[in-house]
Each structure stands twice: as structure tokens, then as C-alpha cells.
Structure 1
């Protein structure tokens, strides 16, 4: 399902937002959105994500040449987790260097736009046609064609990998 930038705002009766039974959990970012990057490198955040990400967020290099968009608390949690193993683990040190060196604090402007830095636009080959997807505790910004190619490639095996990824549970 593709949502426009003007997607419905978070409801006041959303337990994750109102301190109900989901209080204390990180935001759950879901869906697919198709904003544009303007000539100045700004992207309008999907309306649904604005309140969930908060006023401060971090953009960083993601896997598969996308850009991660994380609430600051989630970014800090990931960085701390990697740092716990980094001193004795070369792969973790390498990952941490690339991850943190490409990370940028961002705050949306009054129109809900954030600047996608040139370094990250180059990394993910982002032009004006992009896709923003919610992936649970983070969002990912993709080059639209790269996302469509990735999705077409992965949809074929989606049900096949479910047994490997999901614990034994009934839906």
C-alpha cells in the first residue's frame, strides 16, 4: 500500500502514542510512502512518521544502499550495542566506523521537511524519486527504482524465508 505525504496523522487514541499499554516501546514505523527530494535536497517526512520520530532524528548509511532514518533513542541503542563488542571485534569496529561517520542529526523544519545530506544522497543514489518505508524501529529512504528492483527480487522468496526468519507461531 502506498501512502501520500499527507497520510492521516496519528490518532489520539493510539496506545503507542498516548501512554497506553505500549508506552515505553519505540515507535513502530510502518508503510510505504513516495515523497520527493527537492532541488535543495529536502524531503517532506511522511506525516505519520513526524510524531513517531520526534523532533530529533538521525540519518545514517543503511545496508543495501539505503539511508536509515532513526529516532535518536533507537540510534543510540544501536550504537551502544555495537560499541559493546567493537574493541575486540574487527568487523564490529569496521561497521561502527562506517555507520557513525555517515550519521547526521536532523530536525524537521516547520513544514516537516528534513535535509538529506549530499553524502547520504550519493551513497544511496537518491534523486528526486524516492521511497520511504517503515521498517519497525526505523525508516529507510530508497532510490525508487532500487526499491522496486529489491522488492521484486525478494517478493518471490518472501514466503519461503518465513520459516527461517519467524519463530514457530501461528497467524
Structure 2
């Protein structure tokens, strides 16, 4: 059973099969648990959350946000309207629905990147571009307006 404190670290390069299934990295499987939620992520990736984390972190916050705001409504449509709940199979594969594969440009070669309490799935070439274009100096990074301490 997954834990809400699972730390998904590192990156892996699995492939999608012809049915749009992704082998979840073995190190992530326990933390992801028996049910996951896949949805659109920032910068055209797919995010995979343990079900409990998605409901606590994303769905609950969207539910409490005002629907009188157009940007909130659009965010709800993007994150909830495109979400899919999936149960990984016995081999640790999860199906990424076609609309999410299209959104992220996922075809065959994927890069799966741990983000602490969730996972991002990228087209490998797109992820390489993001990495190459970031050019950030770690010393200059800020977290919530404060210097990030290593």
C-alpha cells in the first residue's frame, strides 16, 4: 500500500508499448500504490500521483477554489477533466490514455522523473530540451522567494 510520504527520486527511461502502457520504475511501484491518477502536467508532461496524494493535494485544493474565476475553471478542466485513474497491472504497467499521450507527445521513448510526492512522464527528446534550456545555476534558485539552502 502506498504512503503519502513516498519520495520519488531519480529518473528512468522506460518505453511505452504498442498499447500505450508504461512500465513504472520498480523503485516507484510501492510508493505509487494500488491506484494512481494520471493528468496533464506543466510544460507538456504527464503527471502520475498516488491516488491519495492527488485527492489531498490537487482535487481538494481545486474543490475549495472559487469557480467564479475563469482561470480556476480552466485549471479544473485541465487537471480534473483530463485525469484518469488507473490501477497498475501485475507487471507494474500503467496505461497512459491517448489524450494524455498526445498532450505530452509520448510515443515510445519516455523519461520518468521523480518529483518527491509525484512522478512526471516526458517524451525523452522533449525532456532533453527542457534540461538543456534550463541553464539554471543551482546557487541562484529560490524556493517560494527564499534562498534555497542545500
In the TM superposition, residue 40 of structure 1 has moved relative to its aligned partner by 1.1
1:61 is the counterpart of 2:36: no
Instruction: Give 2:6's match in structure 1, choosing from 27, 48, 63.
Output: 27
Structure 1 residue runs of 5 or longer lacking an equivalent are: 1-16, 18-23
TM-score of the superposition, structure 2-length normalised? 0.90
Give the secondary structure class of the aligned counterpart of 2:18.
coil
Give the secondary structure class of the aligned counterpart of 2:122.
strand
Instruction: Give 1:97's match in structure 2, choosing from 77, 84, 90.
Output: 77
Structure 2 residue runs of 5 or longer lacking an equivalent are: none
Give the secondary structure class of the aligned counterpart of 2:141.
helix
TM-score of the superposition, structure 1-length normalised? 0.80
| Greater gyration radius | 1
Tell me the residue number matched to 1:143. Answer: 123
Q: Which has the higher contact order (CA 8 A, sep 6+)?
A: 2
Contact persistence 2:4–2:53 (CA under 8 A): no
Q: CA separation of 1:132/1:80 partners in 2, compared to 1, >3 Å: closer, same or farther?
A: same
Question: Within 2, Cα distance between the matches of 1:83 and 1:43?
Answer: 30
Tell me the residue number matched to 2:92. Answer: 112
Give the secondary structure class of the aligned counterpart of 2:80.
helix
Question: Within 2, Cα distance between the matches of 1:100 and 1:40?
Answer: 23
Higher helix content, 1 or 2: 1
Higher strand content, 1 or 2: 2
Give the secondary structure class of the aligned counterpart of 1:148.
helix
Structure 1 runs of 4+ with >4 Å offset: none
Give the secondary structure class of the aligned counterpart of 1:101.
coil
Question: Within 2, Cα distance between the matches of 1:93 and 1:114?
Answer: 28
Q: CA separation of 1:103/1:164 partners in 2, compared to 1, >3 Å: closer, same or farther?
A: closer
Contact persistence 1:26–1:74 (CA under 8 A): no
